[in-house]
């Protein structure tokens, strides 16, 4: 089991991030300033009614064993930290309970805020190219989701009852972090844009309605859940690539799995995957099958846009049809010729779809 230090920052051999002194603080990068992707299938329950809130978790099923490890095993090399110096963004810090959350803010301060939420093994820096592609239109802010990048792990939980047995990596906890960022950075009527796991978080955060939003953009959200087809990328595959990163991987090895990705994105993933918590990955993977996306999606208010890959195993044709039926006010947009990792598979086409969606919301 992990110890009480589980909310500490990732270890670095050359420096230690400073502790914020207020609910939201700022650390400029020197210039002003991807991890393992996620894949799943929509599953086959096209005629199923959304689960009520009390049935968000598959309480009748048995969660797989979730490894609990100390946060000291999360590491970042000096070259990874130096990547932050190349970003046209400012590091900001927000408290969510006892957790310190790291956010990359691309400005400008008076721009329409768009909070970007990455996927299961994607620290904020791996969505830098997405933020840059939107920066002339809006004010992108990219969150290091808890347990990834520079953000803390949640405090140690016993994993049996709290957060549905997901060790603080359940959707409700993730959504609470979104609320903390919106409040802590005083974001006025932001837009939430999430990819994969991030899209699931967007759905719950929007459905709860704790903050007024201009709208939401969900990009290829995993539609798995209780009674649905299993997530097609196994936990063993995720953890195997995490082990590669921790022993030392490079862009060439990443390219063997993801040859379509731009070289810079392969390099960033090779350097930053080791910052991800094994517990975060395993618990989130378990959540993909114990928490139902369709418990939240019908409650997401308009305007909402769901973008999905034409070749994605995550949002299949049947999944897209089910999503359209469950939330008829939402707009669905298919990007042809790309898989689940839409932005990485075809950056130009994915960014064009995201920009078109955002133009309707600002």
What is the predicted pLDDT for the residue at 232?
83
Q: What pTM, to 2 d.p., does this model score?
A: 0.84
SS (H, E, C) the chain: CCCHHHHCCCEECCCCCCCCCCCEEEEECCCCCCCCCCCCCCCCCCCCCCCCHHHCECCCCCCCCCCCCCHHHCEECHHHHHHHHHCCCEEEEEEECCEEEEEEECCCCCCCEEEEECCCCCCHHHHHHHHHHHCCCCEEEEECCCCCCCCCCCCCCCCCCHHHHCCCCCHHHHHHHHHHHHHHCCCCCCEEEEECHHHHHHHHHHHHCCCCCCEEEEECCCCCCCCCCCCCCCHHHHHHHHHHHHHCCCHHHHHHHCCCCCHHHHHHHHHHHHHCCHHHHHHHHHHHHHECHHHCHHHCCCCEEEEEECCCCCCCHHHHHHHHHHCCCCEEEEECCCCCCHHHHCHHHHHHHHHHHHHCCC
User: If pLDDT is split at 50, 70 and 90, which confidence band does 63 have?
Assistant: confident
Query: What mean pLDDT is predicted for residues 336-349?
Result: 97
Listed range (60-64, 96-100, 150-154, 186-190) with the worst mean pLDDT: 60-64
What is the predicted pLDDT for the residue at 30?
36
- Kindly tell me if the per-residue pLDDT of 101 is higher than 90: yes
Q: Give the domain 34-48+63-359 fold.
A: Rossmann fold (3.40.50)
- Kindly tell me if the per-residue pLDDT of 61 is higher than 70: no
Map tokens 């994105």 to a residue: 265
Listed range (64-73, 218-227, 269-278) with the worst mean pLDDT: 64-73
More confident of the two residues 52 and 352: 352
pLDDT 10s digits, 281-292: 999 999 999 999
What is the predicted pLDDT for the residue at 257?
86
What is the predicted pLDDT for the residue at 164?
58
User: If pLDDT is split at 50, 70 and 90, which confidence band does 358 have?
Assistant: very high
pLDDT 10s digits, 23-60: 455 544 433 333 333 333 333 333 333 333 334 444 33
Pairing of strands 113-117, 139-143: parallel
Structural domain boundaries in the chain:
34-48+63-359
Q: Which of 27-31, 238-242, 303-307 has the highest mean pLDDT?
A: 303-307
What is the predicted pLDDT for the residue at 231?
84
- Kindly tell me if the per-residue pLDDT of 68 is higher than 80: yes
Listed range (157-161, 168-172, 216-220, 325-329) with the worst mean pLDDT: 157-161
What is the predicted pLDDT for the residue at 196?
98
pLDDT 10s digits, 114-140: 999 999 999 999 999 999 999 999 999
- Kindly tell me if the per-residue pLDDT of 9 is higher than 60: no
- Kindly tell me if the per-residue pLDDT of 327 is higher than 80: yes
pLDDT 10s digits, 250-262: 999 999 988 999 9
Average pLDDT taken over every residue of the chain: 85
User: If pLDDT is split at 50, 70 and 90, which confidence band does 14 have?
Assistant: very low
């Amino acid at each position: 089991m992990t110890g009480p230090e589980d909310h500490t920052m990732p270890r670095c051999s050359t420096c230690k991030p400073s502790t914020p002194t207020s609910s939201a603080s700022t650390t400029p990068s020197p210039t002003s300033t991807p991890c393992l992707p996620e894949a799943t299938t929509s599953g086959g329950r096209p005629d199923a009614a959304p689960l009520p809130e009390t049935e968000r978790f598959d309480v009748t099923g048995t969660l797989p064993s979730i490894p609990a490890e100390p946060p000291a095993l999360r590491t970042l090399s000096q070259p990874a930290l130096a990547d932050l110096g190349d970003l046209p963004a400012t590091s900001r810090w927000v408290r969510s309970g006892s957790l310190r959350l790291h956010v990359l803010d691309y400005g400008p301060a008076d721009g329409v805020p768009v909070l970007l939420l990455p996927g299961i093994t994607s620290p904020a820096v791996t969505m830098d190219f997405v933020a840059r592609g939107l920066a002339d239109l809006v004010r992108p802010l990219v969150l290091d989701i808890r347990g990834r990048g520079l953000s803390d792990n949640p405090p140690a939980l016993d994993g049996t009852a709290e957060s549905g047995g997901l060790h603080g990596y359940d959707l409700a906890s993730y959504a609470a972090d979104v609320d903390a960022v919106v409040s802590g950075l005083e974001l006025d009527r932001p837009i939430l844009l999430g990819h994969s796991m991030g899209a699931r978080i967007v759905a719950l955060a929007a459905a709860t309605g704790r903050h007024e939003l201009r709208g939401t953009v969900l990009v290829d959200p995993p539609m798995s859940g209780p009674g649905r087809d299993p997530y097609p990328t196994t936990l063993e595959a995720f953890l195997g690539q995490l082990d590669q990163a921790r022993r030392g991987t490079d862009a060439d090895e990443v390219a063997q799995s993801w040859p379509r990705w731009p070289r810079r994105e392969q390099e960033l993933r090779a350097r930053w995957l080791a910052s991800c918590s094994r517990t975060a990955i395993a618990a989130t993977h378990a959540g993909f099958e114990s928490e139902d996306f369709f418990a939240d999606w019908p409650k997401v208010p308009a305007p909402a846009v769901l973008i999905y890959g034409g070749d994605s195993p995550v949002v299949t044709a049947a999944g897209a049809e089910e999503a359209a039926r469950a939330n008829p006010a939402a707009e669905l947009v298919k990007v042809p010729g790309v898989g689940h990792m839409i932005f990485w598979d075809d950056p130009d086409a994915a960014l064009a779809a995201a920009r078109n969606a955002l133009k309707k919301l600002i």
